[in-house]
Chains A and B, each alone.
Chain A
Amino acid sequence: MSGTWMTTRAWLLMTPLLAVMIAVIGWPLVHTVGLSFTDAKLVGTAGTFVGIDNYVRMLSSANFQRTLVTTAWFAIVSVAAEMVLGVLAALLLNQQFRGRTALRALMILPWALPTVVNATLWRLIYNPEYGALNAALTQIGLIDGYRSWLGEPGSALTALIVADCWKNFPLVALIALAALQAVPRDITAASLVDGAGPLNRFRFVILPYLAGPLMVALVLRTIEAFKVFDIIWVMTRGGPANSTRTLSILVYQEAFSFQRAGSGASLALIVTLLVTLLALAYAALVRKTAGRTA
């Protein structure tokens, strides 16, 4: 069969997918770009062309800058904690002990729990009047009185990060565990014979096997953490006093609560650009890591 016919046939077979993708992703994205240069409202007026006004206004607003810091903090702290806890859990699960298979199976549970159910569960745990966290800490004697964990700007973001970590570190653990099991036995044995201590063994023998899969997990988790919406909407809606408002929540408020489709669109594209830059930076890093360990 000729190469041209093969290629034509391939494109024909891909047409349904590409047509749907253009309809539900391509066209909306182009439309968002168009909207971002207008002062359009969500319903009614189509809006008039205002140039880059929306972008200038959004980028220079204190709201945006504060939200960017909140989002970056949420993403950095939660992803870093998930990576560390995930690797530690994987190292543990790679040891021999009774009940190891059962514990490994349990790690699926937080991953499978729907995000909204997870958020609701932790909202109940943090409840200021009847929550389990308040009850447990008071009964142990760690705090004197019940606190409003999600109601105080000082603790709300941390409480959210804990809830997010609990759901996501088991996934990192499963990825890291699969990578650990690919480390050949004789290499670890040889390093023992050579007298390598536990830290050196982790750094020079085990880490090279973990680096690739962990980088992928890091990229995916960071992109998701930057786009975070569900868990925050259900637990705090961005409050109290906007202390947990992330970029996606801000776009939602601008475009849907205040119905300012134009400036909401410009804000959404700024977020998209940030996530893309982040992904590109990571991709460069992945290539470097791969080059070093190969």
Chain B
Amino acid sequence: MERRSPAFSIFIHLCALLLAVVILAPLVWLFVMSISPAADLSAKPLRWWPQTVDFSRYGLLLSTVANSAGAAFTASLRNSLVVSGMATVAAIALAIPAGWAVSRTPSTGWSLSLVIATYMLPPVALAVPLYMGLAALGLLNTVFGLALVYLTILAPFTTWLMKSGFDTIPREIESAAMMDGAGLWQTLRIITLPLAAPVMGTAALFAFLLAWDEFFYALLFTSDQRAKTLTVAIADLAGGRVSDYGLIATAGVLAALPPVLIGFIMQRALISGLTSGGVKG
């Protein structure tokens, strides 16, 4: 190991401190805004720490009293959960058979490459026909229609992850089971899927995060509390005439909590996923 001079060591620690401040300052400020009284946030000079801590906005947004700000927010929270959940389950259900097929029969791989290449399509290239199609089917402004559209983003991604996961499970284990008389379906259910469970979990969490984050399609295809998701509700708040910035910040904190928790939980999986993707190119 290289010996470090004291000056270099101090330099490293200062840089680390700077990086920590850059990452944390905006996030801490978002939280501070959410618990500061409205008067503190519009004070000049600005009060960086509230005189009295005020958690009431959290109660306000999470209340379900009819026609309150809370009712709109909790409806969008529920819509986000339902849409992301449905889209994730559907994307995994499509990805398992397709991912396994491509993994075991490489000659069909080109079709998956084609599916993955759709990542380059900007959503605006599909938006008009999708809008017309959803309108014709009566699926505009429904959670089901939005979840269906989210498959354009989620399914290519989960299939690719599942395929990489199946690649790491040796075929020999499957052939052994089949030699013992197990059918294809039995082999997959008893042998392959349990071994692929960790990858499936990672793929599901990634898919959920992608759906939770989606904004463009939700903006276009939803119009009221029946289907509006959190991202649209927050953009409405931010762009509207809300005079209490703390309320906008509170909505942001609440919307960020699930993905931030998931991010911490799957840190290891995330980083290994990134690296393997990087190495394989």
In the complex, the answer to whether A279 meets B120 with C-beta atoms within 8 Å is yes
A74–B100 alpha-carbon span in the complex (Å): 39
Provided the pairs A42-B131, A120-B234, A213-B275 are in contact, do residues A130 and B23 lie with their beta carbons within 8 angstroms?
Answer: no
* B182 at the A interface (CB under 8 A): no
- Asked if A110 CB lies within 8 Å of chain B CBs, one says yes
Complex Cα–Cα for A20 and B115 (A): 11
Tell me how many residues of B have a C-beta within 8 Å of chain A: 95
Question: Smallest CB–CB gap between B207 and chain A, Å?
Answer: 14
Contact partner, A32, options B108, B115, B126, Cβ 8 Å:
B126
Please tell me if the beta carbons of A170 and B23 are within 8 angstroms of each other in the complex. Answer: yes
Q: Which residues of A contact B264 (CB under 8 A)?
A: 105, 108, 112
Bound state CA distance, A230 and B230, in angstroms? 13
User: Given A17-B115, A114-B212, A117-B255, A10–B260 Cβ distance below 8 Å?
Assistant: no
Query: With contacts A11-B108, A175-B275, A234-B235 known, is A17 near B255, CB below 8 A?
Result: no
Residues of chain B within 8 A of A25, CB atoms compared: 118, 121, 126, 152
Nearest residue in A to B133 (C-beta to C-beta)?
Answer: A28
Q: What is the count of residue pairs linking A and B with beta-carbon distances less than 8 angstroms? A: 277
A120 CB → nearest B CB, Å = 4
Stretch at the interface among B40-48, B51-59, B61-69, B189-197: B40-48
Q: Closest residue to A110 on the B side, CB-wise?
A: B23
Residue of A nearest to B218 (CB): A116
Let me know if A24 and B120 touch, CB within 8 A.
no
Contact present for A264 and B245 (CB under 8 Å): no
> Which B residues touch A62, using CB under 8 A?
none
A20 in contact with B155 given A116-B234, A212-B278 (CB within 8 Å): yes
| B30–chain A nearest beta-carbon distance, Å | 5
Is A59 part of the binding interface, using a Cβ–Cβ cutoff of 8 Å?
Answer: no
Q: Are A275 and B122 in contact (CB under 8 A)?
A: yes
CB-CB under 8 A for A139 and B245, given A103-B16, A213-B275: no
Say whether B216 faces chain A, with CB atoms less than 8 Å apart. yes
